[in-house]
A and B are shown apart, each in its own frame.
Chain A
Amino acid sequence: MKNEKEVWVERMMEYAAKPSSSTRSKEKVFHTILDILERPEGTNNIISFSQFRLVGIAALIILALNIGVIGFTIVSNNDKAESKSAYGLHEYNLDLY
């Protein structure tokens, strides 16, 4: 005899196999299709998965480059600051002597 959980799971499996669907806006969908077909090819706003992935990869590359440039700028500014203070120290020593 099945327990409550098994009965519930089997009921959900039946729903999965026979989802209740309705084509409420069949005509509206058809008109949308005709509108899409009337636009010149290549200008519709349905993008494919591969186009979306390409844009995502390009965005990540640009972000990585920006982080790289910012990091390089910070490091090179630090180097310049250190060399400035070293120069100052030499001058100080010269003054002493």
Chain B
Amino acid sequence: MNSIIIGQYIPGKGFFYKLDPRTKIVAVLFLMIAVFMLENIAQLFMALGIALFILLLGRISIIKVIKGLKAIFVLLIFTFVFQVALNTEGKILSQANMHFNLYSVIGVVLAFIIWRLLVRVGKFKILMFIAFILGVYIILRYVNFGTDFYSFSLTIYEKGIEMSVFVVVRILIIITFTTVLTLTTKPTDLTHGIESLLRPLKKIGFNSEDFALIISLSLRYIPTIFDEAQKIMAAQASRGADFSEGKLKDKLKQIISLLVPMFIIAFMRSEELADAMESRNFVPGQPRTRINVLKFSMIDVYSGIFTLLCLAGAIVNKVI
């Protein structure tokens, strides 16, 4: 769980910590729009360069970001595989019959078992997953002896490869941007920023303060609830319900033994919180002042100009 860094603030000093959260939110939004406007791979790799430059500027270690990507790596691989398999534009790169026969199915099952065994002992899980998918491809393609009970032709097009790289790199860039945002901005500052940005919506009846309060409360309680979940798991493990041992059928029952106390504790907590807020004179909807008032500084101006330049570049590129 600690390896997921998307949405986790890590205290530190540096360029991005000094930026106003509003600047950061708007910049991430604009840069994301700019990335979606790019049309070919060369431009996209330029954008990747900018993303790396941003990491460098903020002195954020790339390893940290890569570790954070672990959680969505499966998604990336699936995107890649589907793009390769389903896109039918451009020149044909390779055409191959995929065979499903007794031997190839046994081979796939063996590959699967070997992969699961290796994952248990080894470290490079993601590399093994890629190797597994490649292995399945090779087995299905070349094990062509015996009678096929099913076969289909897998054609890989040039455009398919290009698009899959395109999509994956685009996701990588966007995640890098958002990770920089959440790594360097305290959740409270983030909601602060969102609230301040949404304030004009009050005219159409949307109260951004309430919205910000809801978000900041839920963010505040994620670690608490996570803590509670671990305590409940420990308590249930003491009664023989260890989540890392046992069969699937037992696990279902164990999940209930986790969920029920979770709900009860969450309700208890929220009631206590409501009481605590009211006893400190919190009245919903009343105007409130802040301890830390957000202020723009010169670096916000520079970052804003940089962002606008990137966006303008992307728009000009799209139009021309």
Bound together: no
Chain B residues with a Cβ under 8 A of chain A = none
